[in-house]
Amino acid sequence: MQRQGPVAVGPIDMGFDLRMVGPALFAINEQYGTERNVLDAPGRYEFSLERPAPLLGRIDEVDDLRPVLAALIAKQWHFDANHYLRCIHGFIVGMALSWFQMAVQLFVTCLVNSFFPEVGEATVDLLESAGETVEFPADQTCCGQPAYNVGLRADARKMAAHTLDVLDATDGPIVLPSGSCTDMIVHHIPELMAGDPRRAAQAERVAGRTRELSQFLVDDLGLETVGPGCGDRSVAYHPSCHGLRNLSLRTQAESLLDHAEGVRRVELPDAENCCGFGGLFSVEMPDISVAMMETKLKNVEASGAAVLVGGDVSCLMHLGGGLHRNGSAVTVKHFAEILAGRLDTANDD
């Protein structure tokens, strides 16, 4: 029996710790587990192994779960705001993803692909260390955020339509090492497509499967720690605006850092203040951008951290440039690099 189209699972709100069903998950994974994907070359991920069998084909052998999971796959479920129902939804989706190892789709973002491929590699390391199978949709390009941010809605819509076509042809959660691009796919692409019923439905399907990396690891998988850590390093965490304000990413990455081997997280004064990047804001209003950045950098130096850590390479590129020009010894890293123990990379002095 074949599935038709991707599974639109919606935002996952875990009502309790899925690790309580660990023995059952282990037994199912042992029976239905698949081989790991292959990382072919740095910066480009080629997955040579065949995809696992369709999920419904496996459900045929798990009679007690068939009615529930078949319904989940057959159509997108819509729940009201009732917390109890959202918890059940999260539990069922979590079991489906964990038991049958549905592949994670990595949307790597433009800046990571062009300037920080080591962040993409670290993201794959973390997802695989968490037991996930990772796939890389090869035709992915920019999600359209830069055009959207400057009001070029027609151009942004074209780019977003391509992104939707690429991602809607895949299955499983879509994970990004970026809060800003996640916010674009989750919130703004559906707005762009609101006037086209077919595209609007497609945008909602893709948005419902899209998760920022720390959000996926902590909120969806329920992990406290992942990866080998980085040895003895003091770090300060800068929460970028899109993730903080639009995705409610307040504690997820910090929690992972707090539990990582050898990481000593220090408090960053006024951590939630903007760093001044703001995409094209830093180009159109450079004086204001630089003033905001210098305030942030003074707080970074005051924290005593050896490494400034964040979840968006755009902000880290902005802040890293300022630190370099100021002659600071502080380096910048994406939290994925810290957790994966990837410290010997280009921006590490």
Q: Which residues have CB under 8 Å from 289's CB, separation 6+?
A: 276, 277, 278, 281, 282, 318
Give yes or no: residues 131 and 71 share one domain: yes
Give yes or no: residues 287 and 215 share one domain: no
Please report where in the chains the tokens 């587990």 appear, as a residue. Answer: 33
| pLDDT-derived band at 279, boundaries 50, 70, 90 | confident
Give yes or no: residues 152 and 291 share one domain: no
Are the C-beta atoms of 263 and 335 separated by less than 8 Å? no
Decide if 1 is inside a domain: no
Give yes or no: residues 22 and 159 share one domain: yes
Q: If residue 102 lies in a helix (H) or strand (E), which one and from where to where?
A: none
pTM: 0.71
Distance CA 97, CA 103 (A): 8
Give yes or no: residues 204 and 255 share one domain: no
Q: Is the pLDDT of residue 82 over 50?
A: no
Give yes or no: residues 70 and 41 share one domain: yes
Mean pLDDT of 296-318: 96
Decide if 4 is inside a domain: no
Give yes or no: residues 238 and 93 share one domain: no
pLDDT for res 100 = 53
Q: Is the pLDDT of residue 66 over 70?
A: no
Q: Which domain holds residue 335?
A: 233-340
Q: Which residues have CB under 8 Å from 156's CB, separation 6+?
A: 144, 145, 147, 148, 192
Distance CA 208, CA 7 (A): 9
Mean pLDDT of 133-156: 94
Q: Is the pLDDT of residue 99 over 90?
A: no
pLDDT for res 280 = 80
Give yes or no: residues 201 and 244 share one domain: no
